[in-house]
Amino acid sequence: MADCLFCKIIAGEIPGKFVHQDDELIAIEDINPQAPLHALIIPRKHIATLNDLKPEDDALVGSMFRRAAALAKQHGYEHRGYRAVFNTNREAGQSVFHIHLHLLAGRGLAWPPG
């Protein structure tokens, strides 16, 4: 996707602080962190929103959540707690249309979210 921010970060055309990379996904620090740990887990495959997921993406989404859990554990938040969330479309505040799982931890996270 030529004008997709996350495709450009994955391609190395725009810098990112990588905290994980493998064949199917990357994880980077969010540029505007909303918690002491705020990482974005992003598939290499361009998928615009959760609405565009296909059955063949099931394993990929599972890998994204398992990576979020691994990163939370790596940072010592396994038991304290963390949140892993996808924003989808306007009312949820999605601003980059290449799916990404937000991992937030390190402070009390209000519920319901704003």
Selection from 3, 1, 60, 9 nearest residue 39 by Cα: 9
Q: Within 13 Å and on the Cβ side, how many CA atoms surround 77?
A: 21
Instruction: Considering the complex, state which of residue 32 and residue 79 has its C-beta at the smaller distance from ligand 5GP.
Output: 32
Out of ligand 5GP, Zn ion, none, which partner does residue 57 contact, by CB within 5 to 8 A per kind? none
By beta-carbon proximity to ligand 5GP, the closer residue of 55 and 112 is 112
Q: Which stretch binds Zn ion (CB under 5 A): 36-44, 45-53, 54-62, 82-90?
A: 45-53
Considering only 31, 52, 73, 78, the residue that binds ligand 5GP (CB under 6 A) is: 31
**C-beta of 19: minimal distance to ligand 5GP in Å?**
10
Instruction: Indicate whether 95 belongs to the interface with ligand 5GP (CB under 6 A).
Output: yes
Q: Is 75 a catalytic residue?
A: no
Please tell me the number of Cα atoms within 13 Å of 51 on its side-chain side. Answer: 8
CB of 114 to ligand 5GP, least distance (A): 13
Cβ 37 vs Cβ 77: under 8 Å:
yes
Angle formed at CA 45 by CA 98 and CA 21, multiple of 5 degrees: 95
Phi, psi of 58 (to 5 degrees): -55, -45
